Structures are given as structure tokens and as C-alpha cells.
Amino acid sequence: MDTKLEQKPLGLYIHIPFCHTKCTYCDFNTYTGLENLIDDFTESICNEIEFWSITDQYRINSIFIGGGTPSYIDVENLEKIINKINSNFKISKEIEITMEINPEDVTDKKALLWKNIGINRCSVGIQSLNDDELKIINRRHTANKAINSINILKKYFKNVSIDLIYGLPKQNLKSYVDTLEKIIKINPTHISAYSLQVEKGTYLNEQVFKNEVVVATDDISAEMYKKTQNILKKNNYKNYEISNWSKNGLLSEHNMKYWKLEPYIGIGPGAHSYLEKKRFSVIKSPKKYIQSIKKIKKNKIINIEEKIRFLKKNTFFEIYEEHNSKNEKLEFLMLSLRLEQGIDIKDFKQRFSQDFDELYLNKLKHYFKNNILEKNNGFYKLTKKGKLFANEVANNFVD
């Protein structure tokens, strides 16, 4: 029997927590002024990869190097990390390797180096193509620099994704549509557009509290989302997930794992994993992370369950939960609802041995009547209008 056929696909997320400056809205686990840690950190990441080393049950088919700003660190560090993955895991031939890139880091020389170490998908944090909007959220690039960076990356990569944010301070419907139209002209293969969230602990939160900036109301954000849907559809982008659009089927393989509840390991401070029906995340502080890795470095545990138990025992995790079928069901439904294809009724029955219609159809009736939900070839999905009500519909799955 060909044992390769038995290997399940697995994703790897690598968290690089360094940024040159902090954007006002950002609540990710990222730090400025810690550049002196980058070399030690790279070594720790390589040691954690070695600890996880799995060569039998799983085969890596997506790697996502995110952060922070991975493009901010030297390519030699990134190369060490990718080489370490290659020597500790079975890798799928069709692997997608995405790296998050900030426009100000892009040059022809760097783009070629990134390509040469194996990166084959770029995710570029553009956010807006309006200089006033970029400035007020403390982005370092200008609109022109952003456009140039995409044009450079397109010379080396077939698959370039752009991140946008709508609802920004100083933004209005007209300036947002202007950004979208400029983005269409650059013709990326993939666009993620997220509504601005004012998160606790961010500088933006302070600014909003002191009335120093005004962000879009829910109604304006909803208008911006509708514009995004219409303009991108007209330009042949498929809205395959609530906030994500792709051309020519080039969707984010890695993010699909999150939405389809498939396994992935997160490596690096604060990174989250979903493996063997357990969710866990690593301690957040880069300094503590580097210290903790020293304890796990020399352990050559083979069994995955034992690896997880060992890390738990050595207080390597900040969050640890075992999934029971109740919370797995809830997550499956909430995440499936975000996808264009919707909830796969057959898959639901196979996973949970329960009938979706019997459990929920009564509760969801009025959403079908009001054109918020629809049935399509064995899937229940949100309509175009329904995408604005995703959270409300998902609440019906909470017991």
C-alpha cells in the first residue's frame, strides 16, 4: 500500500512578531524596537520546528509566514526557517508558501530573493490608496509606493494578494471606491477587505475615546462592503469567503484550512494551532518564547499527543482547549457560513452523526423567507444580502 496516500494535509503558520512601527489599529502580537532579538528568535523558531517534526501522519501543503512584518527581517533568516521546515516535514509538491509583505520593504532584489527561497504567494498590506488615510493610521508607505510594490511583485509572483481596510478615519465612500478602482487597475489575483475594528488597547481606541478621530458608522461600513461586493464582482473576482475575493480560482489555500476546520500548527510567539482536536496558542512575549524554547529544544518526542502534553506541562501555552463535539459543531457551522459554498449538509452529518435540518431548520425558517439564506445543491449558504447578517444567523447555532 502507498503510505503517502494516508498522510493528511497540514498547514504551518510561522509568526514573525517584528514591525518597524506600530499601526494605530493593530492589536496583533507584534513589537517595535526588538530588532536585536531577530537572530536568536530565528534560531528559536528553527528549534520549535524541529520539536514538531512530523514525517508520517501529515504532509505540509501550506505555509503562511505572517506577523508582524516578515518582509522586515533579512532573507537569510527566512531562508533558515524554510530550510528547517523542508528537513523536518514531508512537503506536498503543490505547496502554497505565502509571506506577508509591507510595501516599503519591496525592491526587485528582495522580490527575487523571496522567490528563490520558495515563497510563491505574497500577501501585501496595502490597506488604502489614499495618503491622508494611510498617514492617520501610521502606515509607513504612500499610495504610490504601494502601487509600485505590487507592480514589482507581479514580475516575480503569479499569485499576489492585497489587504484592504474599510471604515478608516478620514475615509468616505468616495475615497474608498477610489482605492478599489485603483486596486482593480493593478489587477491582483486576490483581495481581502476587512471592516476596521477598534480594538481595546490600541492607539486607535484611545484616539476614538478622546474624539481625536472618527471612524465609519456601521451603516457606512455596510455601504462600503456592498460597494466592494459589486465592484469586485463586476471585475471577475469571486467572493469565496465573506471578506475574501479571488480571480482564476487562486484562493488562499492556507486560510481555507481555518475556515474548514482542518489541522494546522502555529509556530512562534502567540501563534495558534488546531491539531488532533485541540486548540492551543503559544506564550506571546518574544523574550519569554526564546527562553522557553531552550527547555524544549533537546526533546525528540515522536508521538503528536505526547508532544502536545509535553508543551502543556512546560507552560509553553497561553491558551489550551480540548474540542468536544459541541464546540466543534458550533465552530464548523460558524466558519462554513463565512464561505461562499456555505454549510455542507452531508459533511455535517458525517462529522457529527446528526441531521442539520432536524436540528436547525425551524430556527432558520425566517432567514430563508427574507432572502438571507438559500439552499444550493446540498449546501445552505448566505445570499449576497445575507452576508451582512452572518453573525446574527450564526447565533442560532449556539445552544
Helices 38-52 & 286-296 angle (0-180, nearest 10)? 40
Q: How many angstroms separate the CA atoms of 328 and 390, rounded? A: 18
- Select from 17-25, 39-47, 240-248, 333-341 the region that touches ligand SF4 (CB under 6 A): 17-25
Between the alpha carbon of residue 113 and those of residues 39, 78, 81, 88, 340, the distances in Å are 19, 10, 14, 23, 35
Select 97 or 126, whichever has its Cβ closest to ligand SF4: 126
Q: Which residue has the cell 446540498?
A: 378
Query: Is position 23 an interface residue for ligand SF4 (rule: CB under 6 A)?
Result: yes
DSSP H/E element including 333 = helix 325-338
Q: Is residue 22 a contact partner of residue 32, using CB atoms and an 8 Å limit? A: yes
Q: How remote is the C-alpha of 69 from its chain's centroid?
A: 13
Contacting ligand SF4 (CB under 6 A), which of 26, 184, 330, 394? 26
Q: Is residue 399 a contact partner of residue 326, using CB atoms and an 8 Å limit? A: yes
Least gap, CB of 318 to ligand SF4 (angstroms): 19
Select 103 or 342, whichever has its Cβ closest to ligand SF4: 103
Q: Is residue 48 a contact partner of residue 84, using CB atoms and an 8 Å limit? A: no
Least gap, CB of 334 to ligand SF4 (angstroms): 25
* Binding to ligand SF4 in span 119-158, by CB under 6 A: 125
Q: Which three cell numbers stand for residue 53?
A: 517534526
DSSP H/E element including 125 = strand 121-127
Contacting ligand SF4 (CB under 6 A), which of 47, 61, 69, 179? 69
Q: Is residue 170 a contact partner of residue 133, using CB atoms and an 8 Å limit? A: yes
* Binding to ligand SF4 in span 191-230, by CB under 6 A: none
Query: Is position 28 an interface residue for ligand SF4 (rule: CB under 6 A)?
Result: yes
Select 15 or 84, whichever has its Cβ closest to ligand SF4: 15
Least gap, CB of 362 to ligand SF4 (angstroms): 43
Contacting ligand SF4 (CB under 6 A), which of 71, 102, 246, 252? 102
- Select from 67-75, 229-237, 270-278, 333-341 the region that touches ligand SF4 (CB under 6 A): 67-75
Q: Is residue 250 a contact partner of residue 122, using CB atoms and an 8 Å limit? A: no
Contacting ligand SF4 (CB under 6 A), which of 10, 45, 62, 67? 67
Select 30 or 292, whichever has its Cβ closest to ligand SF4: 30
Query: Is position 281 an interface residue for ligand SF4 (rule: CB under 6 A)?
Result: no
Select 72 or 348, whichever has its Cβ closest to ligand SF4: 72
Query: Is position 372 an interface residue for ligand SF4 (rule: CB under 6 A)?
Result: no
> Which value, in Å, is the radius of gyration of the alpha carbons in the chain?
22
Q: Residue 392 burial by CB count (10 A; 0-12/13-18/19+): exposed, middle or buried?
A: exposed
Contacting ligand SF4 (CB under 6 A), which of 12, 19, 111, 296? 19
Least gap, CB of 140 to ligand SF4 (angstroms): 8
Least gap, CB of 66 to ligand SF4 (angstroms): 8
Q: Which three cell numbers stand for residue 207?
A: 484616539
Site for ligand SF4 (CB under 6 A): how many residues?
Answer: 11
User: Which neighbouring-strand residues pair with 62?
Assistant: 11, 96
Least gap, CB of 69 to ligand SF4 (angstroms): 5
Which residue, 284, 290, 190, 285, is CA-closest to 245?
190
274: helix, strand or coil: strand
| 3-class secondary structure per residue, 56-82 | CCEEEEEEEEEECCHHHCCHHHHHHHH
Q: How remote is the C-alpha of 53 from its chain's centroid?
A: 23
Site pattern 306..325 for ligand SF4 (x: CB under 6 A) = --------------------
Query: Is position 68 an interface residue for ligand SF4 (rule: CB under 6 A)?
Result: yes
Contacting ligand SF4 (CB under 6 A), which of 22, 154, 279, 351? 22
Select 199 or 322, whichever has its Cβ closest to ligand SF4: 199
**Which chain residues interact with ligand SF4 by CB under 6 A?**
19, 22-23, 26, 28, 30, 67-69, 102, 125
